[in-house]
Amino acid sequence: MTSVAILGTGSLGKAIAQRYLNEGVTVQTWNRTRERLRLLLELGAIELSNLFEVTAKCQVVITVLRDGPVTAKVVRELGSLQNTTLIPMGTMGVSESKNLAKQVIKQGGSYLEAPVLGSKPQALSGNLLVMAGGDVTIFEQHYQLLNYLCKRPKLVGPVGCGAATKLALNQLIASLTHSFSLSLRLIQQAGVSVETFMEILRPSALYAPTFDKKLERMLHRHYADPNFSTSLLRKDMTLFLQETAVNGLEDLGLKGLVQLLNQAKGTELDAQDYCALHELTKVSE
């Protein structure tokens, strides 16, 4: 039976672990906050009491941690990665992923970045989108594990390509949400019915499903129970800005959006659903 270690059991990591358990995969899991393991242990996961025992029990280690620096720190604590493949699924910068790959190789292991698009519902149903970066042989070796989470996992290129693809997609999340918020604000101020606006928008080439997904949250200011928070969105947009600087891209518009997201720091919006940025586009009173 396949056995995999999952390090990091926040909302997404927990859902990924649940999906594997439902598919008959033996899941060994770890989190610095032990309370977050309770549900998984009740479902049959095996607790790893410390990081040193991870690679002795599992040849595949999946990390679903907040960012690149945290992931690198945890991986260092694993010690030797001999005969082990590390598969980070959290969002990282391109250079962060490349550096982590070098670190893993120095520790004796192999590396396959596999960031995912989607959140808890998609993870539980096996409908995440996986964009892997790494060696084709390693990708094929672990294809079935990825296939439990995604109908058609894609190898988009060598290490760094997966990270770049994920950042590009998350940039669209931020920009589409921001532009939709501004449009809603304008039509409401002008006295146009939101329903009428949506009836015009939906059949047009401008429509994106995320608009309807977030519409009710924005209209009713319901940002609780996030699958992806404002603070994480800001973190990813900051990473994207780092890549624009490296690649010589014009990023003036995105800088303005990051400045807007910075206004959420230290407020309740930071821990809420990312569409809470709608609160930041409101007309000044």
- For the segment 139-167, the average pLDDT, to the nearest whole number, is 98
Which CATH code for domain 3-159?
3.40.50.720
Alpha carbon distance 131, 94 (integer Å): 13
Tell me what percent of the residues of the chain surpass a pLDDT of 70: 99
Residues 50-64: tens digit of each pLDDT: 898 899 899 999 999
Top-tier CATH class for 167-281? mainly alpha
- For the chain, the average pLDDT equals 95
> Does residue 1 surpass a pLDDT of 80?
no
Alpha carbon distance 163, 184 (integer Å): 32
> Does residue 284 surpass a pLDDT of 70?
no
* CB neighbour list of residue 223: distance below 8 Å, 6 or more residues apart: 217, 269, 272, 273, 275, 276, 279
Locate the domains of the chain by residue range: 3-159, 167-281
Residues 182-218: tens digit of each pLDDT: 999 999 999 999 999 999 999 999 999 999 999 999 9
